[in-house]
Structure 1
Amino acid sequence: MKEGNKFEYRQIHSSLKVILVSNSEKSKQYYREVLGCEVTEWWVIRDWFTGLDIKLLQSNSPEDVQPNRSARGYTQTAPDVYCYVENWTALDELYVELKEKGARMVIEPWINEAGPWKGFAILDPDNYCIAFGGTNSNN
């Protein structure tokens, strides 16, 4: 029900990113084994639908796979997917987990003191950049 400009319920519960991949089986294996996702025919998810949610679609040709390139404010590849993490402890644990599983790090952990914000990023088999970050809610 609408009350003025506010709604009494959440209209959007979650969303997912749709990406074209060059080899869906290779991508599914990566998301399952390296990122620890549940993998189905339709999506890869971690921490149910409030966590990392991506729909992988097999591209018609390799030229159709187009991860983000550089963007203003980024010294490296701009993220294709950004995942917020609850706090720096959880972020550090996730970093160690993904590194141990062989994730390709494109941005090592860094802290932006203006935030304060901490983050890191990895690349998937098609060079999509998945970034993880958050504030330190433990302090």
Structure 2
Amino acid sequence: MSKVHFSVQVRLVSDLERSKRYYADVLGCDVSDVWAVRDDFALGFKLIQAAKAEDVRPNPSGDNKMVPWDTYAYVETHEELDQLYEHFKARGAQFIQEPVLEHQDWGDWKDFVLIDPDRYAIAFGSGKKGS
């Protein structure tokens, strides 16, 4: 059976050039005509210009969730998550959730959520404290 090697999310955006700048400058993606990817497609988007701004519709919050998610990406450790947060913060990211540590029965989970210019919510999380 064939194997899927990576996937990307399609983002309908209100201003393609603005989104390309954001994904490059703030998220550190390699950006081409419509592609925005980083870390060998571990985080990947295909940016498509919307015909009308009202066609852009990020996800609403889910049941029992205060913060919406359009993308959820994982990093290995809490330390890497903190470094990523500081990196995005220094590049001007707007956050709708600062880093939060939650204690679960199976261990600790930490995550934060930022938004892009069209208010797509991109979450980053980790379940390991590290070394």
TM-score class normalised by the smaller sequence: over 0.9
Matched, 1:35 2:27: yes
* CA distance in structure 1 between the aligned counterparts of 2:4 and 2:108, rounded to whole angstroms: 28
Deviations 1:80-121 (A, max 9, x none): 011111111110000000001100011000011004110001
Match of 2:64 in 1: 73
* CA distance in structure 2 between the aligned counterparts of 1:42 and 1:104, rounded to whole angstroms: 22
Q: Which residue identity lines up with residue 75 of structure 1 in the other structure?
A: M
* CA distance in structure 2 between the aligned counterparts of 1:39 and 1:106, rounded to whole angstroms: 24
- Of 131, 135, 139 in structure 1, the residue corresponding to residue 123 of structure 2 is 131
* CA distance in structure 2 between the aligned counterparts of 1:117 and 1:11, rounded to whole angstroms: 30
Matches within 5 A, 1:89-128: 89-114=79-104, 115-128=107-120
Q: Secondary structure at the match of 2:128?
A: coil
User: What's the TM-score once normalised by structure 2's chain length?
Assistant: 0.93
Deviations 1:13-63 (A, max 9, x none): 1111001000000000001111111001131001111x2101100000011
Whichever of the two has the greater Rg, that structure is: 1
* CA distance in structure 2 between the aligned counterparts of 1:41 and 1:27, rounded to whole angstroms: 11
Q: Which residue identity lines up with residue 90 of structure 1 in the other structure?
A: E
Moved over 6 A (4+): none
Structure 1 portions without partners, runs of 5+:
2-9
* CA distance in structure 2 between the aligned counterparts of 1:40 and 1:73, rounded to whole angstroms: 37
RMSD of aligned alpha carbons: 1.3
Q: Secondary structure at the match of 1:132?
A: strand
Number of aligned residues? 129
Structure 1 residue 137, shift from structure 2 partner? 5.2
User: What's the TM-score once normalised by structure 1's chain length?
Assistant: 0.88
Match of 1:46 in 2: 38
Identity fraction in percent: 44
Q: Secondary structure at the match of 1:136?
A: coil
Match of 1:17 in 2: 9
